[in-house]
């Protein structure tokens, strides 16, 4: 079951959190669009891509969130340099098939600024594989300052583990 934190009088879903007691079929449908399948999705013809997205969205809205998307406003978070074909396909399906009221497309890197209510800042997105740094000035992206550092959480974890192992070897040598 998905526990949706939303106000039924307003038509916005703020966040949701999946419980572990999903039925197997819902989990399989929700995991259908993994990162590996996104690459495969771009090899599909447009109609098949729309069908796949429609099936995913049907599962999400009607079986997981248990709400009708009709006349709802949707916020679509996009990555900087993201796959435009996928965004357009999602928009097409939401408007044509689900009849949503509106779609607000927001750059995902800008969301931390919107959350704290400022329009100028430096967003540092520390991910698993990489760190993205993107400056904003008066709600405008300063694309010239965009930097990617390929040292994410996985690399930090490896270095910390190595330092702990090395340090423990020295400590053990002193004890023996």
Single out the residue in 68, 90, 117 at which a domain terminates. 117
* CA gap 174, 154 in Å, rounded: 31
- Looking at the structure, tell me whether residues 50 and 109 fall in a common domain: yes
Single out the residue in 117, 139, 159 at which a domain terminates. 117
Single out the residue in 117, 133, 151 at which a domain terminates. 117
Q: Domain count of the chain?
A: 2
* CA gap 16, 61 in Å, rounded: 12
- Looking at the structure, tell me whether residues 65 and 100 fall in a common domain: yes
- Looking at the structure, tell me whether residues 49 and 136 fall in a common domain: no
Q: Using one digit for the tens of pLDDT, what is the confidence trace for 54-99?
A: 999 999 899 888 999 988 899 998 887 778 888 889 999 999 999 9
- Per-residue pLDDT at 47: 86
User: How does DSSP classify residue 29?
Assistant: H
Number of residues that this document lists for the chain: 176
Q: Using one digit for the tens of pLDDT, what is the confidence trace for 12-40?
A: 333 334 444 444 444 454 444 444 555 56
- Looking at the structure, tell me whether residues 77 and 106 fall in a common domain: yes
In 37-86, the DSSP E strands lie at 73-78
Q: Model's pTM, two decimal places?
A: 0.58
Domain region containing 139: 119-176
Which has the closest alpha carbon to 23: 66, 64, 58, 67?
Answer: 64
Q: Which helix (H) or strand (E) holds 47?
A: helix 46-58
Which has the closest alpha carbon to 158: 129, 121, 117?
Answer: 129
């Amino acid at each position: 079951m998905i526990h949706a934190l939303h106000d039924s009088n307003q038509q916005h879903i703020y966040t949701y959190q999946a419980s572990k007691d999903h039925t197997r079929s819902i989990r399989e449908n929700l995991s259908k669009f993994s990162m590996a399948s996104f690459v495969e999705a771009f090899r599909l013809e447009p109609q098949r891509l729309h069908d796949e997205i429609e099936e995913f969205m049907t599962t999400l809205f009607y079986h997981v969130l248990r709400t009708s998307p009709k006349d709802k406003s949707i916020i679509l978070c996009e990555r900087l340099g993201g796959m435009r074909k996928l965004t357009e396909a999602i928009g097409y399906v939401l408007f044509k098939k689900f009849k949503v009221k509106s779609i607000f497309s927001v750059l995902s890197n800008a969301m931390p600024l919107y959350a704290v209510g400022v329009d100028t800042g430096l967003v540092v997105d520390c991910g698993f594989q990489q760190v993205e740094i993107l400056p904003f000035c008066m709600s405008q992206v300063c694309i010239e300052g965009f930097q990617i550092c390929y040292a994410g959480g996985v690399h930090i974890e490896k270095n910390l583990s190595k330092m702990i192992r090395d340090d423990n070897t020295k400590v053990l040598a002193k004890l023996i």
